[in-house]
Structure 1
Amino acid sequence: MSPSFPRSDSKMTFPRVRVVATAAAMIVLSSALAGCGSDGAEVQTAAAPEVGVYTVHSESLTLSDELPGRTAPYLVAEVRPQIGGILQKRFFEEGSYVEQGQPLYQVDPAPYQAVLSRTEATLSAARLRSERYDMLVENQAISRQSRDDATSQFQEAKAAALSARIDMGYTRILAPISGRIGRSSVTQGALVSANQANELATIQQLDPIYVDIVQSSTAVLKLKADAAAGVLQVKEGNGAEVSLTLENGAEYPYKGTLKFSEVSVDQGTGSVTLRAVFPNKDGILLPGMFVRAKVPAGTNEQALLVPQRTVSRDNQGRPYVLTVDNEQIVRQQSVVVDRAVGNRWLISSGIKPGDRLIEEGIQKVTIGQQVIAKGDKSGGKTSGITVARH
């Protein structure tokens, strides 16, 4: 027979086990809840990020247009004979500098010398006859008509002699202007004629020298619109200072002066030509050279220039800036970028003086987030900046 145990002992064992398990579970649950509460407190008390800001201010900005241009001679003279004959001599070296009035060619003068001698003899006889008839008409020995005929013949002889002397002078061809003469198209022994199509040589005056600058009609209209709106203060009239950049990228050492602007638009190119004159005493500029000229366009007294790294672009390539408002909240603002000025952007719209743009820490902030602005790098107002727009 199996031994028997009192019933009261069995009933007292099981309740003690359940009490211990329940207490352990409560401890684990309390620890978990405590941990969750600790994590939440850390998120709520996280510090706002610090960002570097740039405060927008207005500046005086002088704008200039950088435009293409070509050099052209200040004076050009094509040397042509004014009489016909055989070319006897050439008195100049090709490519040399010649002075105005310097002999260039000699045409055979013999035929013209003969004509001159004949006309001068006729002139002498006509003069004596006219003087004699003047005395005879006073004594009423001849009619006044005879005296008038003699006077007319004398004047005709005088004109013929003058024409012969002019032709004789044309046998020596002189330089019409001072400048550098090119190659000769004829040699000794060539037959030349008056009003021939081909020039004997060409002389170009290169000091000073012209630069013809081309500006699109669209740019002219925009310049006038900006001036009318008060965005630019434009200097009217000629006399503005112009600078040049040569084909090799070097700056031309001398400044030029704007002389005039065409009053009409070229229908073929849709452009307007500006002409400037430059000193060229060193002979650096030669006719036909391509250059780039900086022509003053106007002054913007309220230009807004910002560091380039304050401007970002969205997926469509549209520029925008991140600003910090008075409550230290990050905002996004679309802007219109005009052009680059060194390492800054010229902004035409979208911001105003006093706006604070995020320059440092853009990558760690989001729109609507509160931040701590520091390190204002506005730098103070400047003036006299010049920028060329291409």
Structure 2
Amino acid sequence: MRSNTWIAGRRRWLALLLLAGLAPLAGCGRDGEAQAKEGEGAQVQAVPVETAAAARRTVAASYTGTASLEPLAEAQVVAKTSGVALQVLVQEGQAVKAGQTLVRLDPDRARLNLAQIEARKRKLENSFRRSDQLAAQQLISAGDHDQLRYDLEEARAAYRLAALELSYTNVIAPISGVIASRSIKTGNFVQINSPILRIVDNSRLETTLNVPERELATLEAGQPVHMQVDALPGMTFEGRVDRIAPVIDAGSGTFRVICAFEGGGSLQPGMFGRIRIDYDHRADAMTIPRQALLDDEGEAAVYVVRDGKAVRTAIETGYADGAFVEVRKGLDEGDAVVTAGKAALRDGSDVQVIGAPAAAVASATAAATDGDKQ
């Protein structure tokens, strides 16, 4: 019969052997769990993004600004004499020509004054003719003869002035245009020099832009101008740079650019316009959406998707035209740049392109299925 000491030693040896056998199994369990977690992490790191392809298109370099439309000319029509308005011949919104009679004032007082002065003028003309004959016969002094001449010249001047006053009873249009406002009715008494009508010449409309001095070398007369107005959404009006005042305002650091547009149609004075002046044009420029640009300070850059990864790529930009920006260096035509989801990316991040073509998705799915079968 074996001793208790031998039995106890045998038991300790069996226990150590069991522990030695379980240790590799425990290690394998921990390694498998870590690998599973790493696989899950790899799947989580695939960031969903949207992309757009770099493509060639026409871009234009432009300056944009806002301004109100102003008429080519504007005139306040005033009464040059006093009187009762017998006829008001125009209404607001009516087109008129320069020299057209707009209002007729009571002419009786002015007509009587003219007749009175005309009678005195004729009397002096007769007296001067007789004086001229007497002066030739030396029957009147030279001083008296000269006095009659001066009186006659004064009477003639008074007659012309009275005739002018009579003409003022017909209020005429100083410019061609449209009646913008009327502050007189038939029967009103009109004071001299009081404004009664306003005419605007809307045959051509102008806008004045205060442009920063850095644009002085790029803008010049004759360049095309495109304008949209808030009152007429969806419509674009074409014009041109009419003239430039190349004097820099010391206070604001700007100069004045006047743009001209054809009037007489939908455009009206006072409308608020959003103006774009195109000063350069590229017919075949490489472009990407403006939203693809990264917000980093310094050089311009984008994320390009290559082999399922986001690659940060520095680019050289050119003109910006609306929603697109020109790329002069750094990209090739067809490169897929990330337009949405940039904030979650780092250089080398795995990406999943949302909205990928159906054929590409099907191909990727079939490849994954074949791999599982193997």
TM-score with structure 2 setting the length = 0.65
Provide the residue aligned with 1:320 in structure 2. Answer: 301
Instruction: Give the conservation status (yes or no) of the 8 Å contact 1:55–1:353.
Output: no
Question: Structure 1 290/269 Cα, relative in aligned 2: closer, same or farther at 3 Å?
Answer: farther
Match of 2:197 among 188, 194, 201: 201
Quote how far apart the aligned CAs of 1:107 are. 1.5
Q: What is the DSSP-based 3-state SS (H/G/I as helix, E as strand, rest coil) of the residue aligned with 1:136?
A: helix
- Are 1:211 and 2:191 an aligned pair? no
Match of 2:98 among 88, 97, 100: 100
Quote how far apart the aligned CAs of 1:183 are. 3.5
Cα displacement string for residues 94-151 of structure 1 (whole angstroms, at most 9, x for unaligned residues): 3222222222212211111111001100111111122222222222112222221111
Q: What is the DSSP-based 3-state SS (H/G/I as helix, E as strand, rest coil) of the residue aligned with 1:106?
A: strand
Q: What is the DSSP-based 3-state SS (H/G/I as helix, E as strand, rest coil) of the residue aligned with 2:69?
A: strand
Question: Structure 1 128/248 Cα, relative in aligned 2: closer, same or farther at 3 Å?
Answer: closer
Match of 2:271 among 289, 292, 299: 289
Match of 1:116 among 114, 119, 126: 114
Question: Structure 1 214/307 Cα, relative in aligned 2: closer, same or farther at 3 Å?
Answer: closer
Q: How does 1:237-316 map to 2 (within 5 A)?
A: 238-247=221-230, 250=233, 252=235, 254-264=237-247, 271-282=254-265, 284-298=266-280, 305-306=287-288, 311-312=293-294
Question: Structure 1 311/180 Cα, relative in aligned 2: closer, same or farther at 3 Å?
Answer: closer
Query: Where does structure 1 lack aligned partners over 5 or more consecutive residues?
Result: 3-24, 33-53, 228-233, 325-329, 368-390
The residue type paired with residue 76 of structure 1 is E
CA distance in 2, matches of 1:309, 1:126: 90
CA distance in 1, matches of 2:127, 2:240: 63
Q: How does 1:132-151 map to 2 (within 5 A)?
A: 132-151=130-149
Provide the residue aligned with 1:9 in structure 2. Answer: none
Cα displacement string for residues 203-246 of structure 1 (whole angstroms, at most 9, x for unaligned residues): 111112x23142342xx32x34xx5xxxxxx464x222222112
CA distance in 2, matches of 1:188, 1:364: 77
The residue type paired with residue 277 of structure 1 is A
Q: How does 1:1-390 map to 2 (within 5 A)?
A: 61-196=59-194, 199-208=195-204, 210-217=205-212, 220-221=213-214, 223-224=215-216, 234=218, 236=220, 238-247=221-230, 250=233, 252=235, 254-264=237-247, 271-282=254-265, 284-298=266-280, 305-306=287-288, 311-312=293-294, 319-321=300-302, 332=312, 334-335=314-315, 340-341=320-321, 344-347=324-327, 351=329, 359=337
Instruction: Give the conservation status (yes or no) of the 8 Å contact 1:85–1:191.
Output: yes
Q: What is the DSSP-based 3-state SS (H/G/I as helix, E as strand, rest coil) of the residue aligned with 2:182?
A: coil
Provide the residue aligned with 1:376 in structure 2. Answer: none
Quote how far apart the aligned CAs of 1:358 are. 6.8
Provide the residue aligned with 2:10 in structure 1. Answer: none
Question: Structure 1 247/91 Cα, relative in aligned 2: closer, same or farther at 3 Å?
Answer: same
Quote how far apart the aligned CAs of 1:168 are. 0.5
CA distance in 1, matches of 2:292, 2:102: 68
Instruction: Give the conservation status (yes or no) of the 8 Å contact 2:60–2:321.
Output: no
Quote how far apart the aligned CAs of 1:354 are. 7.9
Quote how far apart the aligned CAs of 1:277 are. 1.9
Provide the residue aligned with 1:51 in structure 2. Answer: none
The residue type paired with residue 256 of structure 1 is G
Quote how far apart the aligned CAs of 1:164 are. 0.4
Instruction: Give the conservation status (yes or no) of the 8 Å contact 1:323–1:355.
Output: no
Instruction: Give the conservation status (yes or no) of the 8 Å contact 1:71–1:212.
Output: yes
Question: Structure 1 251/96 Cα, relative in aligned 2: closer, same or farther at 3 Å?
Answer: same
* Structural RMSD (CA): 4.6
The residue type paired with residue 274 of structure 2 is R
CA distance in 1, matches of 2:246, 2:183: 38
Quote how far apart the aligned CAs of 1:345 are. 2.7
Instruction: Give the conservation status (yes or no) of the 8 Å contact 2:59–2:326.
Output: no
Cα displacement string for residues 25-84 of structure 1 (whole angstroms, at most 9, x for unaligned residues): 9xx9xxx9xxxxxxxxxxxxxxxxxxxxx9999998531112112111122111111011
Instruction: Give the conservation status (yes or no) of the 8 Å contact 2:71–2:200.
Output: yes
Q: What is the DSSP-based 3-state SS (H/G/I as helix, E as strand, rest coil) of the residue aligned with 1:182?
A: strand
Quote how far apart the aligned CAs of 1:322 are. 6.1
Question: Structure 1 193/140 Cα, relative in aligned 2: closer, same or farther at 3 Å?
Answer: same
Q: What is the DSSP-based 3-state SS (H/G/I as helix, E as strand, rest coil) of the residue aligned with 1:180?
A: strand
Question: Structure 1 138/357 Cα, relative in aligned 2: closer, same or farther at 3 Å?
Answer: same
Question: Structure 1 298/152 Cα, relative in aligned 2: closer, same or farther at 3 Å?
Answer: same
Instruction: Give the conservation status (yes or no) of the 8 Å contact 1:83–1:193.
Output: yes
Instruction: Give the conservation status (yes or no) of the 8 Å contact 1:68–1:214.
Output: yes
Give the number of the structure with larger relative contact order, counting CA–CA contacts within 8 Å between residues 6 or more apart. Answer: 1
CA distance in 2, matches of 1:342, 1:161: 68
How many residues in Structure 1 have an aligned counterpart in Structure 2? 308
Quote how far apart the aligned CAs of 1:306 are. 4.5
- What's the % identity of the aligned pairs? 22
TM-score with structure 1 setting the length = 0.63
